[in-house]
Amino acid sequence: MGTMKLTLKAASPSKRRRQLSKNLVAYSFILPNLLGFAIFTLVPIAFSLGLSFMHWDGANEISWAGLDNFKALRDDDTFNIALKNTLWYVGGTVPLTMACSLGLAVLLNQPIRGRNFFRTVYFFPYVASLVAVAVVWNMLFFPSAGPVNELLRTLGVDNPPRWSASVDWAMPTVVMASVWRGMGYYMVIYLAALQGIPQILYESASIEGANAWQKFRHITVPLLTPATFFISIMLTISSFKVFDLILVMTNGGPGRATNVLVLHTYNTAFRQFKFGYSSSIAMVLFALVMIITVIQFYMEKRWVEYSQV
Amino acid sequence: MDTQLTQTSLSKSATRAASSGFRRGTITKVLTYVLLIALAALMLLPFIWMASASLKLDKDVFRFPIEWIPQDPQWENYRTIWTRIPFMTFVMNSLKLTVIITFLQVATSSFAAYAFAKLDFRGRDLLFLAYLGSIAIPWQVYMIPQFILMRELDLVDKHMSLILLQAFTAFGVFLLRQFFISVPNEILDAARIDGLSEYGIYFRIMLPLSKPALATLTIFSAVFVWNDFMGPLIYLHSESLKTIQLGLRMFIQQYSTDYALIMAASLVSLVPVVVLFLAFQRFFVEGIGTTGIKG
């Protein structure tokens, strides 16, 4: 740096020098974070793609695999099941969470007493640890004697579902738990967006005789589309990453009924030490997230309304 | 609904239409509250059940109908959990990681965010794009190269691995930058004219002005580290190093039928987060409203 400064000093007027020292000051602000961020995030991101084309057990020599890992994925039953389950989970969680969080936000965006109280309560499950949430859900939905099934039996359901212990019901149970946990978070985003809608729009609609549904359909929904767009992307990305909840609630079971991509990646990397192969699963996850995000951005023009109100 | 109500009460001529409108308004209002309370119950009952079950004998946990307030509360459950597994060690480990990572994250992020928000320098937009882009990539995509890197540095099974991985996040930089940008440039320019250096401006103007933002990041980061499960699962193997979430999972696996004890341990693991959340929940809400991104 010192020599560079000197050459520039000789070559250029003081204006250039001022800009350089401004740059140096700015870099000094960024450096502590950038150093850690570059080494522990950017470099691993760059390597993750390369690793998926390698054979490596972490102990012996690393060797080139070409497309072997990706070809092997095709015949890996667990991978195919995990892929299908992940899409199932995302397809269930994203729309349900969005609908519930919008409902909560609309409900809370009225002149009601105790609004802060309700908002706090709805948000709370989101800050509770997933391990604690998963374990209490498992107990509540315990097939033989859990309170939920006892309640269903008193209500006359003779054979209540076996929830997370049954192949058919395990995934819906996990989806339910995750919707329950996440809706308060996205509600807060919707609530912020709702508060940005000018009240005058509703008032003039009322004067023109619009009913509550018409106001919701023609004012609220269109003006919320930027928030909806944003939430759909955040929620999709975070749903593809599901891990803790599933590991503690079902550990991918029963059988492989709730095995998902991240769990499969984790198991192949840290249980079987197939680092290269595991990276190729991670790449599929990454590609899926990217493709869906790009599609969402592409579709944005069709339905998101950025109006100037 | 509200406008309808005020209009009704304002109009002196109590026509039939107005009074039926008033009644409909009241009914909707009552229904709204019923719904709000039912939903609040849905959110809280699992936790209330957890608290109630934690004070019972194992054999009474699943007794139906639910006895919400145990007649003979088993307070010793809360003593037993500390002796069954080294729960105290796990709590202290989590506390240590939470404090160190949160401090480093707030310090380095606010420093970098100041430059991104208020300084003009070469490569700023490109660098910021790299930060932003990394937020969109799921951590699980690059967790394996990270692990290999940590193994090369001989940091696996040491707290340092998690500290290095989690202290320098793009998320913190992004969140604080969003807040810093809203501070008017005029204030900073005035300080520059008065001869304050950029470091002086950062410490004496920016930081004091953005206490809510710093509080927001502190809380987000602390809750994230305390609740983190996958990071410790991958990196911490020695029992003496494990965190509260790993300890809780260990407890669940080892004593899978000690239902009451599991609930007591779960509840204990929630206490710090609940306290933090209730004390600072306004920052949570504002933080999400501003950035919409989570850690």
Query: B195 touching A, CB under 8 A?
Result: no
* Tens-digit pLDDT profile for residues B126-161: 899 888 888 878 888 899 999 999 998 999 999 999
Closest CA to B173 of B18, B291, B270: B291
Contacts 24+ apart (CB under 8 A), A292-298: A292/A236, A293/A233, A293/A236, A293/A237, A293/B136, A296/A229, A296/A232, A296/A233, A296/A236
Q: What is the ipTM of this complex?
A: 0.82
Average pLDDT, chain A: 86
Residue of B nearest to A286 (CA): B141
Query: Would the CB atoms of A265 and B140 count as touching at under 8 Å?
Result: yes
Please report, for chain B, the start and end positions of each structural domain, with discontinuous segments joined by +.
2-53, 77-291
The reply to whether residue A48 touches residue B144, judged by beta carbons under 8 angstroms, is yes
State whether A121 and B43 contact (CB < 8 Å).
yes
| Pairing, β A54-55 against β A63-64 | antiparallel
Residues A32-55: tens digit of each pLDDT: 999 999 999 999 988 888 888 888
**Side chain identity at residue B173, one-letter code:** V
**Which residues between 71 and 130 in chain A have a beta carbon less than 8 angstroms from any beta carbon of chain B?**
104, 107-108, 110-112, 117-125, 127-130
Between A158 and B264, whose confidence is greater?
B264
* A87 pLDDT higher than 90: yes
B33 touches chain A (CB under 8 A): yes
- Give the separation between CA A240 and CA B171, rounded to whole angstroms: 19
* Most confident listed range (B25-29, B96-100, B281-285): B96-100
Q: Cα angle at B152 between A31 and B132, to 5 degrees?
A: 35
Q: What is the pLDDT of residue A4?
A: 45
Domains and CATH numbers, chain A: 2-51 (no CATH), 68-303 (1.10.3720.10)
CATH architecture of structural domain B77-291 = Orthogonal Bundle (1.10)
Total count of residues recorded for chain A: 309
Kindly report the average pLDDT of chain B as a whole number: 85
> Running DSSP on this structure, what letter comes out for residue A198?
-
Read off the pLDDT of each residue in A93-121 and give the average, rounded to a whole number: 91
Among A112-116, B13-17, B277-281, name the one with the lowest average pLDDT: B13-17
The pLDDT of residue B254 is above 90:
no
Q: What is the CA radius of gyration of chain B?
A: 26
User: Which residue(s) pair with A55 in the sheet?
Assistant: A63
Model confidence at A305: pLDDT above 80: no
Q: Is A240 in CB contact (< 8 Å) with chain B? A: yes
Interface contact A34-B141, CB threshold 8 A = no
> Residue B10: its pLDDT value, please?
43
How far apart are the C-alpha atoms of B291 and B283, rounded to whole Å?
A: 12
pLDDT of residue A307: 59
**Which H helix or E strand runs over A38?**
none
| Chain B residues touching residue A40 (CB < 8 angstroms) | 146, 149, 164-165, 168
Nearest residue, CB atoms, B145 vs list A47, A128, A289: A47
Amino acid, res. A200: I
Q: CB of B60 within 8 Å of any CB in chain A?
A: no
- Asked if B139 is an interface residue toward chain A (Cβ–Cβ < 8 A), one would say yes
Q: Which tens digit of pLDDT belongs to each residue from B32-67?
A: 899 999 999 999 999 999 988 888 888 887 887 888
Question: Hunting for tokens 């950062």 — which residue is that?
Answer: B202
